[in-house]
Structures are given as C-alpha cells and as structure tokens.
Amino acid sequence: MRLAFTLEYDGTDFSGFQLQKNAITIQEHLEKAIKEITATDIKINYSGRTDAGVHAISQVFDFETEIQRDDNSWIRGINSNLPKSIAVKNIFHVPTDFNSRFSALERRYAYVIYNSTNKPLFFDKFSHWITNEIDLDEMQIQLEMFLGEHNFTSFRSSSCNSKNPIKKVSFVDMKTIDNFIIVTIAANAFLQNMVRIMVGTLIDIAKQENKLSIMDILKKEDRVYAGKTLPASGLFFLGPSYNENLNIESLEHNLFDRLKI
C-alpha cells in the first residue's frame, strides 16, 4: 500500500528539505523517524524541494509499505520521533502509482512582508522586514502581470539547473492586514528562488527603485533586470494540489487564516 502525508515545518534551522551530505535537512529527520517505527529503510517522495530556511504549511510526502498501523498510530509514531519544528498533520491512502511530486497539478507559495519602521520582534523568523513606504496599488498591478505562461529566465537564480524556464502562473493574490503584506503565487512548477526574486522585484518597483514593469523584465529573459532575491525567512510553501479524485486535502489557501495573524 502507499501512504501520503501532509507535513508542516519551521525551516529556520534546516538546510532545506532534500537529503544532503554534511547538512541537516527535513527529509533526513523524516526518514529517520519512519525507520524508528518501521525498522525499515524507507525512501520518501515529496512534492516540493524547499530551500534552506524556507517554511512549509503543507508539504506532501509519500512512501510504500506493507506494515499495518491505524492512521492515528502512523501520525503519532512519526511525530514522536521528530523535532518540535517538524510535524505530520494528516494521512491519506493513495493509489500505488501516486507520486507526491509527479502527481501534483500545481504548487502554491506565500511570501510574508512586514512593512513598518518598528522591527517585527515576534515574527522576525517568519517575515521580511521593510521600512520603506510601498505603493501597494502599483504592487498589485505588477503582480497580476505574472499571470499566464511566461519564460521566467529573469526570475531564476544563476545556479538554477532546470532545463525549462517556461512556467504557467495560475493564481496571484496580495492581502494586507496591519503591517503585514502576504503575496501568494501558484504555478505548475517553480524555478530555483523564483518566488523570492518575483517578490523582490515587485518591492523594488513599488519603491520606485526599478523603472521597468514586470512584463518588461519577463521579456528581457535576463536575471540582471529583476530585483533582489529576498531572504528565505519570509517564504512559505502552502502545498501542492492534486486531482480531486485522489481526495487529498493538501493545499492551504490562506496563510492569514493558518497563521492567525
């Protein structure tokens, strides 16, 4: 049988999700926790490779096993062997050909900005602090230019090894409450650092530090025209979406509600 799980984590102290040599990652902790309760070396699939310092509200991972445990026992057992900053939330019984990564239809990220002259003392690990005045109306206009299928070469890191820079953005949103600004973006897939560069460019335009529009920068297909790569601390992976026939509730739509800001 194949089981899938949703997972949340504070990525601050980890070198990303994917297993690495000489670095502590989320995958390493998960596979060790699973081994503790199965006495088996199990390699997991996962829906998105989050970078060092990036958080997740609803990462999805799956694996195949013949071990029989009730659902609550799986969740409690794995969680009891994880650090407090990582937690399994839900379990789903999925078809044997399900793959967290390749079965995903789209993925969604949210970036949290704290816009104030005062430091976000209790949210410092989970937001990017900006003291400058931001033109929110202009930021919204520019954000909507990302919708559709584009070549995102201007919005990828120099070390990105993806062979196809063309991605389709299906949803964008910007919400504000008090000093917080949350930018949400959904696409079929993302390039390395893509969201952090997209939001960094939006901020530069909103601060009038970049005179080009998002559409202009997309057409340039050159990283030099886009803005800074924002820190990982403000980025949250909200999760993937799957075919509704799978009955997997794996996507958090509203970060405001989830974090109860």
Closest CA to 132 of 235, 184, 204: 204
Tokens 């990564």, residue located: 101
Determine the Cα–Cα distance for residues 82 and 63; give it in Å rounded to an integer: 17
Give the orientation angle of helix 26-38 with respect to helix 71-79, to 10 degrees: 120
Catalytic residue from among 10, 13, 41, 51: 51
Cβ(194)–Cβ(141) under 8 Å?
no
- Please answer whether residues 209 and 140 qualify as being in contact, where contact means their C-beta atoms are separated by less than 8 angstroms: no
51 counts as catalytic: yes
Instruction: Identify the burial level of 49 via C-beta atoms within 10 angstroms of its C-beta, where 0-12 means exposed, 13-18 middle and 19 or more buried.
Output: middle
- Quote the CA–CA distance of 119 and 111 in Å, as a whole number: 17
Q: What angle do CA 199, 187, 107 make, to 5 degrees?
A: 100
Active-site positions?
51
